[in-house]
Chain A
Amino acid sequence: METKAHIEEHHVGYTTYILVWLALIVLTGITVWVSYLHFGVFNIVVALLIASIKASLVALYFMHLKFEDKTTWIFVLYPIVLLALLIGLTAVDVFFRTAP
């Protein structure tokens, strides 16, 4: 038995996807190029920043996160917070040990 139900769907155009893809390729190129420059400790900051921009593009557009509801957003952001806690608090332990 088939019945039709309706949902509202934001249609992302083919063009938008191609533009996002282009941006990702360019950003990949940039991140490779930057790795040959020497910013000292900032290299990793820049690398992670670019990676995060790329990740955001994939999430927002390819994964349609831009159009998802609040509940989905909470369950995307909260794990990131937890991950930051895991890394941050573990680092506080590992790097603030006094020698025996």
Chain B
Amino acid sequence: MEEIGIDVHAHHHVDPVVEYKASKLGMWLFLATELLLFGGLFAAYAIFRAKYPEMFHEEHKELDRTIGAINTVVLICSSLTMALGVASIQRGKKKLLSLFLLLTILFGIVFGINKYFEYGHKFEHHIYPSTSIFFALYFMMTGLHMLHVLAGVLVLTALLILSLKGKFSENYYTPIELGGLYWHLVDLIWIYLFPLLYLIS
């Protein structure tokens, strides 16, 4: 166990260690709310898949497993680069942090581009959210997820800009850690979405 110094960036009179720990707890609490937000969709999925197993099996064939698998790998890689980014700044490596943030953002953008083509392909074949319960779930779940990917990319971009300005150090990297936690959640949700939507057999 190493001791790390944390600089004061307190906006009021709170001990900086307390502020760091409080911020982390706060982010975990926020992630808990995201779990329950998506949870409603997972609940709807569970109910309707149990009700209409054949429909799910038939219609999921319209989905491209390869793109789905590629996207899964893309997000896993982005989680790695994010974790490496946090590890870098814990060791004071500011340039590495910026690099890893950039890579994470690029992975996120690749994910988004893949999704864009996927959705476009569906619409070309006249497959919409209203087409069936399965596709309603597909679009709602991946759509809400995509919104979170977008939000994550925006947050990481802001962090990248701050990182390039040298705002973070081994003594202060709380926003990086918080942004990282959020980004990993985005990966986590997709880890469940992928088999549930793309790998129904």
Contacts and interface: CB of A to CB of B under 8 A. Distances in A.
B24 A72 contact: yes
A91 B42 CA distance: 12
A44 B20 CA distance: 40
Contacts of B46: 87, 91
Which label, helix, strand, loop or mixed, suits the secondary structure of the A interface?
Answer: helix
B188 A4 contact: no
B41 to A, nearest CB: 11
A78 B39 CA distance: 13
Interface residues of A, number: 56
Interface stretch (B76-84, B105-113, B117-125, B157-165): B76-84
A79 B73 CA distance: 27
Interface of B: 1-8, 15-17, 20-21, 24-25, 28-29, 31-32, 35-36, 39-40, 42-43, 46-47, 49-51, 65, 69, 72-73, 76-77, 79-80, 82-84, 87, 90-91, 171, 180-181, 184, 187-188, 191-192, 194-196, 199-201
Interface of A: 1-14, 17-18, 20-21, 24-25, 28, 31-32, 35-38, 43-44, 47-48, 50-51, 54-55, 58-59, 61-63, 68, 71-72, 75-76, 78-80, 82-83, 86-87, 90-91, 94-95
